[in-house]
Structure 1
Amino acid sequence: MIDAKKPLRVLVSEGSSTSGREAITILGLAGHHVEVCDPSRWCLARYSRFVRTYHHCPPLRSDPAGFLGFVERLLASRHFDVLLPTHEEGFLFARAAARLTSRASLALPDFASYRAVHSKAGFSRLLDRLGLPQPPTRIVNSVDELREAVRFPSVVKTSVGTASRGVWFVRDAGDLNRALYDLESAGDFAGEVLTQDLITGTVEKAQSVFCRGRLVGFHAYRQIAAGVGGGEAIKESVSRPAIRAALETIGAHLRWHGALSVDVIMPLDSATPLLIDCNPRLVEPVNAYRSGTDLVDLLLRVSLGETPAPLADGRAGVRTHLAMQALLGSASRDGTRRDLIRECGRIAAGEGLYRGSSEELTPMRLDWLSAVPLAMTTVLLLASPPIASSLARGGFGAHLLDRTSIEKIEGKHFLRDLSTRRPGEGRDP
């Protein structure tokens, strides 16, 4: 068995997401050799001194078979101890795990378990089966069903979507008509659509690592300030035994292996957390790291076949922020240049909500190259604050799945078609 405490060779299979970028920082600080593949030549991971080699690969969204073939060939031609999926490529890897695990260690559950929580509709049904709390939810398949099911105020969601894609806040008939137009235009009623009662409360997230159905690491944080698209700009670690217990129930039922995260609403009028979404991966793990819970190291150890003792929960009250998210959020809320300059000043001086907070996405003091995307984002926003929304959409790129690519991967002939190729055969970038 490989010793996870020694420097490992790790292939991170995307470099565009904030979660992947943060995992790279933690891996680099631990002294591991990190390589990254991503379809974007300008992904966040390119701007890190911790990345030894970048590999330009086919896009997961439009060419999942080509992406898989590229990763297989990379694993065959270069030695890696661990393949670390940090975003939606885990769905593909779980489907084709047998083709990968002979070449690198990988921590994922079986595909049926992964698929059960990857879609919002599937996760909602799982919560019902397990008797776990969620907002009142209806699952529909048509315009008429949605009109009948929606109650104001509500959140309408497509079953497939990440990074706040496919989410509409519907407070009146006008909001509903706009959501229906968007859903019909995109053909989203070809799949399932959810409507959930909009609950007033605090947004929180929890992350965990499981070893064959047993929870071995847990961390939770609450949102202090929102960035663009509702993501966290400032967060603070919290102690949440009730959320931990819910995750333990989910993980044990699915015999989960690897990382698992959930989004939660803490209602203002209740102490019962309501689960609203699930991500079968780690989500932005630096807050946990700063709180004393290194979930990335734990995930490496599980990947290598260890059965680690459960980690103690990290410290509550640890605050971290993502400066890029904060600036994008300020600009997206009709912020002026003066507002942005003031926000930059507060971030630099550690004032206001940033007091006692540390940067988690672009830690310039630890990784000077991370200053490049932050500086570029700041300059672009100061030149034109309304550009924030289009800059944020740049993160919804070719490293993500959509309904079509998911259907390809789920198709009954997908693995058979792959088996007609030599292992590792795929399109070169």
Structure 2
Amino acid sequence: MTVESTLETVFRMESARIIATVARIVRDVGIAEELAQDALVSALEQWPRSGIPDRPGAWLTAAAKHRAVDLVRRRETYARKLAEVGRTLTEESYDPEPSGPGDIDDDVLRLVFTTCHPVLSADARAALTLRLVGGLRTDEIARAFLVPEATVAARITRAKRTLAKAGVEFEVPYGEDRAARLGSVLEVVYLIFNEGYAATAGDDLLRPGLCEDALRLARGLAALMPGESEAHGLAALLELQASRTAARTGPDGKPVLLADQNRSRWNRLLMRRGYAALARAGDGRSYGPYALQAAIAACHARAASYEDTDWATIAALYGRLGTLAPSPVVELNRAVAVSMTEGPETALRIVDALAAEPALSRYHLLPSVRGDLLSRLGRTEEARAEFERAAALTRNESERALLLERAQL
């Protein structure tokens, strides 16, 4: 592996931690990202001559921190902050500030709460957090939100300026302020996990690093707010979804459909963690959207085989979810469950009613589901056309190959 490719991989994995560490020094996420990029440029200049360090992530963090210190030192108005961080700058590792009651001793979580500040619009919060915490490129975020890349780039730039202008503190909030930001934080963590669980583009179906980061953040949020049902619901959902990761691709890297997965490869530890988190989310009657999705995932996890799945309960849970958080995607998922309980013809009527939904016009799973239902009804030529349409819409090469294979009816 070349220096350039190694550095790209390391930076992709460590960028959130580097930015979060530097942001605690400069108190500005936009400047922190610039300093992290400066460290990346420095590595590109030095590593070809000196070799790749034993701990490349630590090298990049240290380089970015030194640049942050230089910046603080040049600003007379930051003299007090320089004195506060001076002790840590001479040490090899970065020691975080002492935690207060209910605080999280985790720079990345601080970064998430900062980028999800209510001074930003919901779209800007998600885009900025996916960029700084998830490490996603602008084009990947654009595909996740189904908007032009230029729109996302503008949102990120404006968001960083807004945070700086508002003087937003780099901290985990408390009390009512924390509760007000929780929904946005949970949404962004979920989006990061989804990008790792089913990559919007590229050759690989999975990006495990993003899943792991999202899981760590979800667990931290649940620990921070033990009385918050939806924090536990999200943690449960991600644990249960992640438990299937090993079975979702075959030895050749190709995707494996849920019906064909080897369930002995599902991670039992993650499943147990998911069940425990779901139990902490409440008794079921007061479940929020994430807890309801976790309950659906639990139905799949508890089934010994695809045929043993409790599809009636899943359809009912999707019905509750659709009432609580209406969405054409939720309705599409409900149609799949309905097809297993009432048959493909009933489900096809639900799917056809979604055809005019603008949000699904470029969503490849709509024609994919429709193709499956048509195939089960024996309408082979129509099914083939739907699978081919789905293949043309997806940006992920693994999914495209699977859909084209399914089109060979």
Compute the TM-score of the two structures, normalised by the length of structure 2: 0.26
Greater helix fraction, Structure 1 or Structure 2:
2
**CA radius of gyration, larger in:** 2
Higher relative contact order (CA 8 A, sep 6+): 1
Greater strand fraction, Structure 1 or Structure 2:
1
Compute the TM-score of the two structures, normalised by the length of structure 1: 0.25
